[in-house]
Structure 1
Amino acid sequence: MRGTDWLLLWTLSLLWGGSFLFVELALEALTPLTIVWARVALAALILGLALRLTGQGMPPRGLWPGLLVMGLLNNAIPFVLIVVAQTAITGALASVLNATTPIFTVIVAHLATRDERLSPAKLAGVGLGFAGVVVMMAAGRLEGAVPAMAACLAAALSYGFASVWGRRFRQAGLAPMATAFGQVVASTVLLAPIWLWVDRPWAMQAPGAVPVMAVLALAVLSTALAYLIYFRILARAGATAISLVTFLVPLSAAGLGWLVLGERLEPRHLLGLALILGGLALIDRARAARPA
């Protein structure tokens, strides 16, 4: 990759890693559902404007049922699970557990597709990654920490299903930005009635400036802008290059959590992260070695 591509990749890792920090700041005064709904609703407005400014078409009507599923799997479920988890664990730990997403993707792809089978190298990577999860969760207390970590793993599994489900939009020729717009619109629609019923926003107290700014940053930077950079890297450097961001996001999230909030990962978390990243490296090497 060229220097510009590396700069974009690090920027993307900071934007996605920053989402865990923004969530922690927003949780000071807002509920998980309010944070997630505002994130996807604002991102939908921004991406819709970007589509119009670039002259790209909206998703055709026939693809919207599939986009509803994509919005559920790739936004609504994982976003809510991660934010709920961060009420009990730090954003740094949540980001480490979220790094298991490619591991779950490999498993789901093996079970659901014919052309993404588990090779010995991929299987070894999966085993190493889950060894890291066991190391992190084995010493955890049952009250709060383990259920929260399990919620992060469930979010990663949902992302894995979304990755396999999203293949249909590439096959249908839908532009990536249109797919991103469709899924955040779908998740906004899906979450709206639940948010209104559970949170009753008209009865909520007005939050302070910091939580509001955190939600704006979450929507504008970590969602809308991150999607735009993601697709730019994908077009310039390809899917193999973009997969490297998985290794960088936990580092960015942990660094920002330490710098702003004074968070620290425990030694077992660092050991678990090392095992997970080792597993991802094996999986990534197996993908690179696969014939085109």
Structure 2
Amino acid sequence: MTRRWTDAALTAVAPTTWGTTYLVTAELLPADRPLWSGAIRALPAGLLLLALTRRRPHGVWWGRAALLGALNIGAFFPLLFVAAYRLPGGTAAVLGAAQPLLVAVLTVALLRDRPGRPALLAALAAPAGVALVVLRPGAGLDPLGVAAGLAGTAAMAAGLVLTRRWGRPPGVGTLAATSWQLVAGGLLIVPVAAAVEGAPPAPDGPALLGYAWLGLAGTALAYALWFRGAARLPVTRVSVLGALSPLTAATLGWLVLGQALSPTQLTGFAVAVAAMVFGQLPDRAARGRRADQPARGQRVGRPAPGRQVEQQAHGRHVGQPARRRLVGQPARGRLVGQPVRRRLVGQPARSRRQASAGASAATPSGSAPGGSSAAAASGSVNRCAADGAAA
């Protein structure tokens, strides 16, 4: 329980940091350069992590890293900045908050896993709460901005699900895998930015500060925590936490820009936060199904470990027929002429040697216990199923 909530809290740091993108873009970065903003944010951060980890992809992971980098970074960053430039921050945030619904669909299609009820309810309630917080009357709906926002959300959802499906190569940490995606995505953005926007902008002091924050905190740290959560938590729970991004943006607008929060917005805050918390709860129905199913590798009807009452020596289960022994054949591990060691029904196996030692001490030499000296000495006594094999 504690570990799951700790993983969720660390993962929540990523969308909280991403929520500062709207404020930093509007206040610090150069205007009308969304593609270069995405490239400058991703590529330096990826090269820094790559220099720290010194791990490169091998084999099939060259292609996987390129695809994940294209979805999570190369396509998502430019589309995110296009939506942020062409739409009001609230409208762009609502489009991004639809990610849990797309993740739920892709989880069924790619992972063959049906999300639990808490995750599905949270995926529906979180965007509704975000809409109450960020949407304003008369908000403009630029068609290109809306298309960019939806496409970026779909790319990020697909990248999240594939990240969970493929995991990481053996022995490769989260920082190394994150660096591959950032470098691959950044390299994809650079030629497109140069072709569309020309030369990169000459950053001034505020722009350098904004790029440094978005590159180090909003990209290197945030994506490492995000991919860590995707590897440890169900992707539906991770995607619901993305609602923290627009909520953080609205909070910063209230604190920094002096934007007021109406009762409707406060209600939306409560709905979205409750949905995120509810989405982290385990699915009780799924736990009940797992409890009713037999354990992996256990046949139906076979007693579970710990329930093998009166298990006999040599690992024989209850109801399993005893191993027959030919007449005159000595028991396993017993010399001819050695008395058969009997065990009382219900006597624990730990006390067999003590009981047999006592029986040997109480029996005269050359005679068998129980008065059947001739038969026991010759080894012709047929043991019943309760006796089991010789200890």
Matched, 1:79 2:73: no
Question: How far apart in 1 are the matches of 2:160 and 2:230?
Answer: 15
Contact 1:93 1:265 survives alignment (8 Å): no
Q: Deviations over 1:224-267 (max 9, x none)?
A: 122345567789xx537x94853543333222233333445677
Stretches of structure 2 that go unaligned for 5 or more consecutive residues are 291-391
RMSD over aligned CA atoms reads 3.9
Matched, 1:34 2:32: no
Q: Deviations over 1:14-65 (max 9, x none)?
A: 422223322223444350001001111111121112213xxxx322143111
Q: Which amino acid aligns with 1:222?
A: G
Q: Which moved more, 1:34-43 or 1:9-18?
A: 9-18
Question: How far apart in 2 are the matches of 1:250 and 1:167?
Answer: 24
Structure 1 residues 224 and 103, CA gap change in structure 2 (3 angstroms): same
Residue 64 of structure 1 is aligned with which of 62, 65, 79?
Answer: 62
Q: Which moved more, 1:149-158 or 1:213-222?
A: 149-158
Tell me how far 1:93 sits from its aligned partner: 5.3
- Give 3-state SS (helix, strand or coil) of 1:29's partner: coil
Residue 257 of structure 2 is aligned with which of 253, 258, 261?
Answer: 261
Contact 2:94 2:131 survives alignment (8 Å): no
Q: Which residue of 2 aligns with 1:189?
A: 187
Residue 221 of structure 1 is aligned with which of 217, 240, 264?
Answer: 217
Length, aligned pairs only: 283
The percentage of aligned residue pairs carrying the same residue is: 28
Contact 1:105 1:164 survives alignment (8 Å): yes
Structure 1 residues 103 and 274, CA gap change in structure 2 (3 angstroms): farther
**Looking at both structures, which has the greater relative contact order when contacts are Cα pairs under 8 Å and sequence separation is at least 6?**
1
Q: Which amino acid aligns with 1:200?
A: G
Question: How far apart in 2 are the matches of 1:37 and 1:171?
Answer: 24
Contact 1:105 1:159 survives alignment (8 Å): no
Structure 1 residues 265 and 47, CA gap change in structure 2 (3 angstroms): farther
Q: Which residue of 2 aligns with 1:162?
A: 159
Structure 1 residues 149 and 49, CA gap change in structure 2 (3 angstroms): same
Tell me how far 1:214 sits from its aligned partner: 0.8
Q: Which residue of 1 aligns with 2:312?
A: none
Q: Which residue of 2 aligns with 1:246?
A: 242
Q: Deviations over 1:82-125 (max 9, x none)?
A: 211111344465445433323321121112221x2144554444
Structure 1 residues 105 and 9, CA gap change in structure 2 (3 angstroms): closer
Contact 1:92 1:264 survives alignment (8 Å): no
Q: Which residue of 1 aligns with 2:114?
A: 117
Q: Which residue of 2 aligns with 1:212?
A: 208
Stretches of structure 1 that go unaligned for 5 or more consecutive residues are none
Tell me how far 1:184 sits from its aligned partner: 0.8
Q: Deviations over 1:141-183 (max 9, x none)?
A: 5854575355334322221111111134316434322221111
Question: How far apart in 1 are the matches of 2:199 and 2:157?
Answer: 32
Q: Which moved more, 1:118-127 or 1:68-77?
A: 118-127
Q: Which residue of 1 aligns with 2:321?
A: none
Q: Which amino acid aligns with 2:254?
A: W
Q: Which residue of 1 aligns with 2:102?
A: 104
Contact 1:21 1:256 survives alignment (8 Å): yes
TM-score by length of 2: 0.59
Question: How far apart in 1 are the matches of 2:144 and 2:134?
Answer: 10
